[in-house]
Amino acid sequence: MRNIINPVLLLSSTFLLLLSTSLAQEKNPLKVIGTFPKGQTEGTNQTRTIIATFNRPMVPLQELPEGDGSGPLTITPSLKGKYRWLGTSTLSFTASETLEVATEYRVTIPSGLKASDGSTLAKAVSWTFTTPRPVLVASFPGHNQRWVGLNPAIFLRFSQRMNVARASSFIQMKEGSRDGVSVPITLGVPTNEEMQKAKLYWSSDTTTMFAMRLQRPLSKNKRYVVMLVKGLLGARGALGMEKEASFAFETYYDFSFEGAVNPTKRHPHESLTLRFSNPVAMKELPKNLTFSPAVKLPEGFSEYEWSSSELSINLELKPEARYTGKIGKELKDIFGQALDKDAEFILTTRSFDPFFTMTTGHGILESYGERMYPVNVVNLNSLDVQMLKLTRDNLVPGLSSSFPDNLQFEISKEWQVNPKRNVQTVVGLKLDDAISANKHGAVLLQVSAPSLQATLRTDVQVTEMGLTTKFS
């Protein structure tokens, strides 16, 4: 028995299948859903490969094919390269040549491009991307740099090769502000000698740099602004800088002494910082600095080669005293300007900060002496003292590093010290009250200064023999 296929039924089924496919394609037409690169790019690596992704398979799935020299993309300006399908729906084009910098490229996918299911792209799809434009990456002097000389070397470094003729009209220098008086300059390529003299070590390749050479010296006490106008062209490409760039610097000032930092009620041993309007060589300061009453200055400054507008010097002054400092008018800044007259300043010191110290840990005290434990004190009239005679029962907890709260001292008192003001004084703390009548024994001693929130502890063995006990 043979199966007979009805021709009418077959044609009807085929028609319905084609109709449903056509309706599905109309509802979800072939589209480009992703493109790369787009807009302004930052580096050349972003532009070597152009990618377009579709919303459905365009080719059968296959192993990664070799690149093909032809494809559906129209690229303007034209590029040579190879096409490759990444999967079934992503097309890539890799240029075989370096793209021109500062150039806008337009990519177009023509209408009528067919997918694997026969659907076509209804209308052409286009997008653009721009290869890197020139960008100012560094300047010398730097932005807001101070104390620049009157005949400075001014250098500009860019992200790509530059051309003096194409860029000259885009670079301006103004005095005071952006709206100030123009400063005449000549633009050129820096020489290695110019860069070495300025101690600038950017690169030996100067094709990305400009030197701005002044036609007349600058004025001191002035701010200068260098402006790179939007559209500044590099050596290649039709597009210039995407936005303006600028930097400013200030020339050096009339030389003056601006005062001492923290001149009143200063700690006697605090380092002294002196401020000037311009940098001064450190080795020159001690030659021109004196005090009344006299102060001994540190030695060795003649070896210092650095300079700054703030110079610090370590001094040992007396507490609660007044000093008059004088800077001689012969002192010069690094630009050769001298002070127009001697400069004086006043320093006042406060008392030394109160403190106390003593040896902590384990100690031995000879019983045939005065049995006093030495404590160093500065500007503290009294200390809190606690003592406990150590016995077999309290020896271990008493010497524990984690002193128990429930351990009770036998003696607690306020010890009147009354040292001489601002003088480190060694005073002896008598231990007789805590040891036995025969003046022998071991004492746990704790000394505190509540005002300083400081506590020190030691254990002292009072004996006629030198005895050390090892605890473990």
pLDDT at 81: 93
Per the DSSP assignment, residues forming a β-bridge with 365 are 462
- Mark residue 282 as left, alpha or beta (left: phi above 0; alpha: psi -120 to 50; beta: remaining): alpha
pLDDT band for 17, please (50, 70, 90 cuts).
very low
Q: What are phi and psi of 433, to 5 degrees?
A: -65, -20
Query: Where in 45-114 does DSSP place strands (E)?
Result: 49-54, 74-76, 81-86, 90-95, 104-109
Q: What are phi and psi of 206, to 5 degrees?
A: -95, 10
Task: For 44-65, give one letter per residue: b (16+ CB within 10 A) or e.
Answer: eeebbebebbbebebeeeeeee
Cα 289 from Cα 274, distance rounded (Å): 11
pTM: 0.77
Under 8 Å CB-to-CB from 38, ≥6 apart: which residues? Answer: 127, 128, 129
Q: What DSSP element (H or E) covers 15?
A: helix 7-27
Give the dihedral of Cα atoms 66, 72, 74, 80; nearest 10 deg: 20
Listed range (33-47, 84-98, 173-187, 328-342) with the worst mean pLDDT = 33-47
Read off the pLDDT of each residue in 4-27 and give the average, rounded to a whole number. 48
Q: What DSSP element (H or E) covers 193?
A: helix 192-197
Q: Is 7 a residue whose pLDDT tops 80?
A: no
